[in-house]
Amino acid sequence: MSTIAFIGLGIMGSPMAVHLVEAGHTVAGYNRSPEKARALGEAGGRVAKSVADAVTGAEVVALMVPDSPDVQDVLTGDDGVFATAAPGTLIIDFSSIRPDVTRELAEEAGRRGLRYLDAPVSGGEAGARNAALSIMVGGADGDFEAAKPIFDAVGRTVAHVGPSGAGQTVKAANQLVVAANIEALAEAVVFLRAYGVDLEAALEVLGGGLAGSAVLTQKRANMLSHSFEPGFRIALHHKDMGIVTSAAREAGVVLPMGALVAQLVAAANASGDGALDHSALLRGVERLSGAS
């Protein structure tokens, strides 16, 4: 069992930290909004007063924060992880950020005698709550093996996909596929409604055939009820699609579908839907179709 500092106790981070406590690890968690640390405290974890307070004495530091600047701030700030962690500490970044930023941070961690894994996750709030996340990990083989008990406590599918930055690259590809699937499902829903078919029955039969997908299974209830309580916010998916398009340009590859979906996600975000679940891409198709 490890002594773990967990930084970022939001929709994803809170249940992940709780699962680590339940697995027997000693967890100190920190979040800028203290009320979000309540679940960890109730589960038996320690609610830290600052990043430095959480990190002091930790063998492992886990992060789950929204974007590249947030990770940089947590790691490189005056009282951040790099300034506080003891040599040999293993840093696991569960956030979804730019691969180039990850590589730079991993290099800096190495210069400071720290170990670093990028380990972005897929599965949304449901996956975090059910300890069923898919985790794509970049970094050294030995560090991956050392982190396996932690990954196994919060995830179901765990893969070491390459060196530093590789996890973030795979996550970017994941977000491209997910966004394209949600957009296709949203367009199918609007199309089916226009013809007055039994929508629930139609999605059930589509889910049993080649059109079936995890997106259809997990997001059809949102679209049927037109309820978009966030499991994964459009604003975050907008950020992720920016990572996809930027990385594709850097690599010199063309992603026609990715470019289109990135614009549709950007439009949803600009229309005020950023705080809604990404299944609310349905609202964008409805707006384009003149429906409400």
Active site residues: 171
Residue 242 in tokens: 């920016």
| CB-CB neighbours of 251 under 10 Å | 10
For the chain, first and last CA: distance in Å? 52
Residue 256 in tokens: 């026609």
Any bridge partners for residue 116, and if so which? 91
Cβ atoms 113, 143 nearer than 8 A: no
DSSP 195-253: TT--HHHHHHHHHTSTT--HHHHHHHHHHHHT----SSBHHHHHHHHHHHHHHHHHHT-
Any bridge partners for residue 47, and if so which? 29
Q: Please state, in angstroms and rounded to a whole number, the distance separating the CA atoms of residues 88 and 29.
A: 20
